[in-house]
Amino acid sequence: MSTPVHVSRLRLGHRASLTRTEGLRSTTYHSQWQLFPLGAVHRPESGAVVLDTVCGHCRVPVRVVLDSAPTAARKKQNRGVLGWVMLLAGVALIVTACLIGGGGAAPGLAGVTGLFAVLGSFGVRSTGKAYPGAGLDRDQPAATRNPHRIFVR
Ligand SMILES: [Zn+2]
């Protein structure tokens, strides 16, 4: 069981500005975040607690869900397992598609679905690795959630 990042390293980020750089071929966006401490010292013993944090930038109250160490570890592990299941299922579909062969619609669809599952699995596994054991409470207006994010420093 891995220990999640310590609470003192978690920050509430407010997207202070979004810079748009027009390139020759593409436009890149660069966000600048202002970071504020969450105001919690410990993780709860079990489950999760909701922290009422006030953003230091926009002064809007933001609710942050802070997981206990066991909960954070379990969520992280679940995402890891999900990633592996998707990877294996994707590989199985691609292999099946190759075995059926023949270029029909069914093996083609199986192959493409398999490919997406394999690609998606890497995304799921990397978000699992980066999971900080805290997140914005989903049960608050999007206008409150959108400019904010949890960071680990
Ligand atoms: Zn803010």
- The continuous run of DSSP H or E covering 75 comes out as helix 69-100
User: Rounded CA gap, 131 and 75, in Å?
Assistant: 8
User: Distance from the CA of 77 to the center of ligand 1, in angstroms?
Assistant: 31
User: Distance from the CA of 22 to the center of ligand 1, in angstroms?
Assistant: 27
**At residue 1, does pLDDT exceed 80?**
no
- Report pLDDT for 103: 65
How many CA atoms are closer than 13 Å to the CA of 59, on its beta-carbon side? 0
The residues spanned by each domain of the chain are 7-152
User: Distance from the CA of 147 to the center of ligand 1, in angstroms?
Assistant: 6
User: Distance from the CA of 126 to the center of ligand 1, in angstroms?
Assistant: 27
Residue 1 CB-density burial (10 A; 0-12 exposed, 13-18 middle, 19+ buried): exposed
Q: What is the b/e burial string over 26-36, where b = at least 16 CB atoms within 10 angstroms of the residue's CB? A: eeeeeeebebb
The residue written with tokens 């590989």 in the block is 91
By residue count, the chain amounts to 153
Confidence of residue 14 (pLDDT cuts 50, 70, 90): very high
Percent of the chain residues past pLDDT 70, beyond the cut: 97
How many CA atoms are closer than 13 Å to the CA of 52, on its beta-carbon side? 1
Query: pLDDT tens digits, residue range 43-94?
Result: 999 999 999 999 999 999 999 999 999 999 999 889 889 999 999 999 999 9
**At residue 130, does pLDDT exceed 80?**
no
Give every strand in the sheet of 10-22, ordered side by side.
27-37, 10-22, 148-152
Query: pLDDT tens digits, residue range 116-128?
Result: 999 999 888 887 7
> Which residue from 17, 20, 19 is spatially nearest to 57, judged by alpha carbons?
17
Protein residues with C-beta less than 5 angstroms from the ion ligand 1:
14, 55, 57-58
Question: Residues 148, 62: contact at Cβ < 8 Å?
Answer: yes
